[in-house]
Amino acid sequence: MQVLSVCGGVPLRGTAVIHGAKNSVLPVLAACVLCRSPCVLHNCPNIDDVESALQILRHLGCTAARSGSTVCVDASGMDACQIPPELAGKMRSSIIFLGAILSRLGCAELALPGGCPLGERPIDLHIAALRQMGAECVCSPDCVCCRAARLHGAVIALPFPSVGATENALLAALGCGETIEIQNAAREPEITDLVRFLQSAGAEISGGGTSKLTVCGGRPLHGTTYTILPDRVETASFLCAAAGCGGDVTLVRTDCTALSAVCSVLEGCGCEISSGRDSLRIRAPRRLRASRETIVTAPYPGFPTDVQAPMMAALLRAEGESRICETIFENRFHHVPQLRKLGADIALCGQTACIRGAERLRGAALHAEDLRGAMALVIGALQSEEESTITGIKHLRRGYDNLEENLRALGADVKCVEIC
Ligand code: EPZ
């Protein structure tokens, strides 16, 4: 079994390279199904979820190959509309293929998606949107089947700006011969990136980045060459690691425009953050001040739920008491009992965590249960001079490319060891 060994207690100093965004490349890979000639995607992170998406594409009859950080997909030979449990169950993003396959072939059959255990994670908003376009969807406890002889125009008002439901509705809408309007659409940068990719393939979409998307579908898309935007969650994770440990870290090949909510919290805790054209530099004191304001997760441009766990870890030693409220997922505190093993003082009251800064943290044997929680354990362990071990690192492999090497480039003592 692979275990991450971490010995911390030192400031982080140096430069780390940020990769393409997991939550952008995955819907873009699903969208390639709509393109009748090859797509070339640059800046694709080398992570397990991308490999899972490539396996799904090959299962559907597409060709999909990687060369370094470039992925080439040719969906011209696509001849299947089913995704079996062993592929769909590996990640949440498999559900985004539903709208794309339905749009392309008029039928789709998917086993229910996997992904981080953050709560129930239903797909009712996805299904409701497809039904509004005329799809017949039948949901059973372990799979969903959709058929649509013809998808028609609709005004889809999402009750919540769901990222996945927005992506599914967008991809299905491209198969409609009429205009589709998606109201209360998610505004995350990854949605904007998906819109830009589709536009580069010939799609007629307006409103990317706003809460109203208008799609004039019905025409096949052509192949394109596209560069995936930098991963804002990876960037925020490294900012939190530097803030928790202290030091002076520069992140390159990133996009500093999408992290104002995270940067303002860290600056309020005593960090100095400066940005270049495609870089961010953070200088952090040995010990942060606690966050004066309660950190509340919210849909973009609010504080990202994916940064809730890394930020909690950054605040474990902050002087004073910080509060974090999780409003997006009902069960996203799996990392709390693990962080307590390090000596962290965290009290949970419903969806709010209260962190009282500890003078020192100890080493511990930790276990990760989800992707961003796993990163929080790494950040927590990096703040103790004692050794910690982390199991469940398969979660890290799903979403962080080259993590150990990047952390070692900053002076961290992190290594992956095999234990029997
Ligand atoms: C995407 O998940 C991201 N995943 C998540 O990142 C991210 O945390 C989330 O958006 C919010 O920003 C990918 O993009 C692959 P939602 P998604 O639909 O689409 C409820 C990571 O760590 N909901 O916006 O699943 C849902 O249960 C991952 O990279 C319904 O009730 O998020 C949740 O409470 C974790 N019915 C809330 O909405 C639905 O049909 C937000 O979900 C859909 C969602």
Q: What is the pLDDT along the chain (420 residues), one digit of tens a residue?
A: 899 999 999 999 999 999 999 999 999 999 999 999 999 999 999 999 999 999 999 999 999 999 999 999 999 999 999 999 999 888 888 999 999 999 999 999 998 888 778 887 889 999 999 999 999 999 998 899 999 989 999 999 999 999 999 999 999 999 998 999 999 999 999 999 999 999 999 999 999 999 999 999 888 899 999 999 999 999 999 999 999 999 999 999 999 889 999 999 999 999 999 999 999 999 999 999 999 999 999 999 999 999 999 999 999 999 999 999 999 999 999 999 999 999 999 999 999 999 999 999 999 999 999 999 999 999 999 999 999 999 999 999 999 999 999 999 999 999 999 887
Q: Is 232 in the pocket of ligand 1 (CB under 6 A)?
A: no
- Region for 282 from its dihedrals, namely left if φ exceeds 0, alpha if ψ lies in -120 to 50, beta otherwise: beta
Nearest residue to 289 via CA among 246, 244, 320: 320
Q: Hey, which bits of 159-286 come out as E strands?
A: 179-183, 204-206, 212-216, 225-227, 247-252, 272-275, 279-284
Cα torsion 220, 74, 107, 144 to 10°: value is: -130
Q: Which of 24, 121, 168, 398 to mutate to test the pocket of ligand 1 (most atoms within 8 A of CB)?
A: 121
Instruction: Give the residue ranges of DSSP H helices in 222-357.
Output: 232-245, 260-268, 308-314, 335-341
Q: Which two tokens stand for residue 60?
A: 């559907």
Gap between the Cα atoms of 154 and 404, Å rounded: 47
Query: Cα of 255 to ligand 1 centre, how many Å?
Result: 22
Q: Which of 90, 328, 401 to mutate to test the pocket of ligand 1 (most atoms within 8 A of CB)?
A: 328
Query: Cα of 268 to ligand 1 centre, how many Å?
Result: 28
Which atom of ligand 1 is nearest the CA belonging to 26?
15
Q: Which two tokens stand for residue 5?
A: 């060994």
Q: Is 52 in the pocket of ligand 1 (CB under 6 A)?
A: no
Are 16 and 249 in contact by the 8 Å Cβ rule? The answer is yes
Cα torsion 76, 82, 84, 90 to 10°: value is: 60
pTM: 0.97
Gap between the Cα atoms of 73 and 80, Å rounded: 16
Which atom of ligand 1 is nearest the CA belonging to 124?
40
**Other Cβ atoms within 10 Å of 132 Cβ, number:** 18
Q: Is 92 in the pocket of ligand 1 (CB under 6 A)?
A: yes
> What pLDDT does 220 receive?
86
Residue with the smallest CA separation from ligand 1 atom 10 is 163
Residue with the smallest CA separation from ligand 1 atom 28 is 306
Q: Which two tokens stand for residue 290?
A: 């606690």
Residue with the smallest CA separation from ligand 1 atom 3 is 23
Q: Which of 23, 184, 308, 335 to mutate to test the pocket of ligand 1 (most atoms within 8 A of CB)?
A: 23
Query: Cα of 297 to ligand 1 centre, how many Å?
Result: 13
Are 103 and 34 in contact by the 8 Å Cβ rule? The answer is yes
Query: Cα of 162 to ligand 1 centre, how many Å?
Result: 6
Nearest residue to 391 via CA among 361, 367, 357, 364: 367
> What pLDDT does 298 receive?
98
Beta bridge partners of 177: none
Cα–Cα separations (whole angstroms), residue 236 to 5, 44, 241, 297, 357 = 22, 18, 9, 14, 21
Gap between the Cα atoms of 282 and 176, Å rounded: 47
**Other Cβ atoms within 10 Å of 9 Cβ, number:** 15
Residue with the smallest CA separation from ligand 1 atom 32 is 163
* 301 preceded by a cis bond (ω within 30 of 0): yes
Gap between the Cα atoms of 184 and 177, Å rounded: 22
Q: Residue 293: CB partners within 8 Å, gap ≥ 6? A: 265, 268
Query: Cα of 110 to ligand 1 centre, how many Å?
Result: 18
Gap between the Cα atoms of 105 and 80, Å rounded: 8
> What pLDDT does 396 receive?
96
- In the chain, how long is the greatest CA-to-CA distance? 64
Collapsing DSSP to helix, strand or coil, 293 comes out as coil
The whole-angstrom distance between residue 86's C-alpha and the CA centroid of its chain comes to 21
Query: Cα of 306 to ligand 1 centre, how many Å?
Result: 10
Q: Is 26 in the pocket of ligand 1 (CB under 6 A)?
A: yes
Which residues are the active-site residues? 116
